[in-house]
């Protein structure tokens, strides 16, 4: 089974993207496998709406461990079964919370063996007025350099439903001109078909 890892900074919409992609694939109930940094594992089954209510939030680092779902993606010859892994948001500094630091280290560990990396960036934040450059720090650039050099990588410019996102998308496409940048709104459920196509193309 191929593994797709969803990565990015905190609050860019990684968890909602994963769940909306499952919804786009006609999934109504998801089994989420939680793997904590110290190794404890458990699974929980949710109706999709309940998963969104429980797992998606506005607080930074709401996700503090790996959260995986398995989906069947329709392909030309049957279906491809894919594990999609949601991860803890990465930051450019040493986080003061040791639990968050361990969760970020766990995120970095799963990147190298991943078959596909989806890098999520907040397009609305990138297009915020008065900002000279897109809000991508060291971690976003390092992710692009690492994942782009190995193949199996694309960028999702999320939150396209918010003001400034179109401007942010243009900025991101200039900055990351070597890579595919897909405009998406996980909240408004737009752009998901293109994400699905790129998942199939890269696996």
- Cα–Cα distance between 64 and 103 in angstroms, integer? 5
The pLDDT tens digits of the residues spanning 164-174 come to 999 999 999 99
Dihedral angle sign, alpha carbons of residues 177, 182, 183, 186: negative
Kindly tell me if the per-residue pLDDT of 40 is higher than 70: yes
Tell me what percent of the residues of the chain surpass a pLDDT of 90. 75
Average pLDDT over residues 30-37: 95
The pLDDT tens digits of the residues spanning 69-101 come to 999 998 877 889 999 999 999 988 778 788 889
Residues 31 and 141: beta-carbon distance below 8 Å = no
Task: Return the domain boundaries, the chain.
Answer: 2-202
Residues 80-110 as b/e (b if ≥16 CB within 10 A, e otherwise) read bebbbbbbbbbbeeebeeeebebbbebbeeb
Residues 12 and 89: beta-carbon distance below 8 Å = yes
* Domain made up of 2-202: CATH architecture: 3-Layer(aba) Sandwich (3.40)
- Cα–Cα distance between 132 and 136 in angstroms, integer? 11
The pLDDT tens digits of the residues spanning 114-162 come to 999 999 999 999 988 766 565 677 899 999 999 988 889 999 999 999 9
Kindly tell me if the per-residue pLDDT of 183 is higher than 60: yes
Dihedral angle sign, alpha carbons of residues 123, 129, 130, 132: positive
Q: Measuring CA to CA, how many Å separate 144 from each of 22, 62, 117, 152, 197?
A: 25, 24, 10, 11, 20
Q: Which two tokens stand for residue 123?
A: 């397009």
């Amino acid at each position: 089974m191929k593994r797709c890892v969803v990565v990015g900074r905190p609050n860019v919409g990684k968890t909602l993207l994963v769940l909306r992609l499952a919804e786009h694939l006609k999934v109504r109930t998801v089994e989420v496998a939680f793997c904590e940094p110290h190794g404890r594992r458990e699974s929980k089954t949710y109706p999709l709406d309940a998963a969104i209510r429980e797992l998606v939030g506005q607080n930074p680092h709401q996700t503090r461990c790996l959260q995986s779902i398995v989906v069947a993606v329709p392909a030309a010859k049957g279906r491809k079964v894919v594990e999609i892994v949601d991860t803890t948001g990465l930051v450019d500094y040493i986080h003061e919370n040791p639990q968050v630091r361990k969760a970020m280290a766990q995120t970095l560990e799963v990147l190298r063996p991943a078959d596909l990396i989806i890098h999520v960036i907040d397009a609305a934040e990138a297009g915020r007025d008065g900002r000279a450059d897109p809000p991508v720090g060291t971690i976003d650039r390092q992710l692009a350099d690492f994942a782009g050099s190995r193949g199996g990588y694309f960028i999702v410019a999320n939150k396209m439903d918010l003001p400034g996102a179109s401007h942010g998308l243009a900025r991101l496409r200039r900055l990351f001109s070597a890579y595919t940048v897909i405009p998406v709104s996980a909240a408004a459920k737009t752009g998901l078909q293109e994400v699905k196509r790129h998942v199939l193309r890269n696996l």
